[in-house]
């Protein structure tokens, strides 16, 4: 079996799941907001995510991280998932995808 295709498929399923999670104050999912910096899938289908927040003092940080953890762990094929919160580089509006900018009326 081609494991590179398997990882790409799993990563695309993870991205689909991440696109169902929204910051309650911004009508764009966290993936298109640019809050997900990295998705790493190892050979055993363990997933490690690096994500950030729009602001370090975000009042919903804990619930957002818990939602990401719960939903990524629920993706079929994921053995385990770990969410690492990072603040480098700091998030800014340039990290929003074209789709997200369109939704926000920036384009």
Q: Is 45 left (phi over 0), alpha (psi -120 to 50) or beta?
A: left
Q: Say which CATH superfamily domain 3-104 falls into.
A: Fe-S cluster assembly (FSCA) (3.30.300.130)
Domains of the chain: which residue ranges? 3-104
The answer to whether the CB of 18 falls within 8 A of the CB of 71 is: yes
Instruction: Kindly report, residue by residue over 68-97, the tens digit of the pLDDT.
Output: 999 999 999 999 999 999 999 999 999 999
Instruction: Kindly report, residue by residue over 10-26, the tens digit of the pLDDT.
Output: 999 999 999 999 988 88
């Amino acid at each position: 079996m081609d494991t590179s295709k398997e990882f790409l498929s799993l990563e695309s399923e993870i991205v689909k799941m991440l696109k169902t999670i929204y910051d309650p104050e911004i009508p764009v999912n966290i993936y298109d907001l640019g809050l997900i910096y990295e998705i790493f899938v190892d050979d055993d289908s363990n997933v490690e995510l690096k994500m950030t927040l729009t602001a370090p003092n975000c009042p919903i940080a804990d619930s957002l991280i818990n939602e990401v953890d719960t939903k990524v762990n629920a993706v079929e094929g994921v053995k385990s998932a770990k969410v690492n919160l990072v603040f480098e580089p700091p998030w800014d509006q340039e990290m929003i995808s074209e789709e997200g900018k369109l939704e926000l009326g920036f384009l």
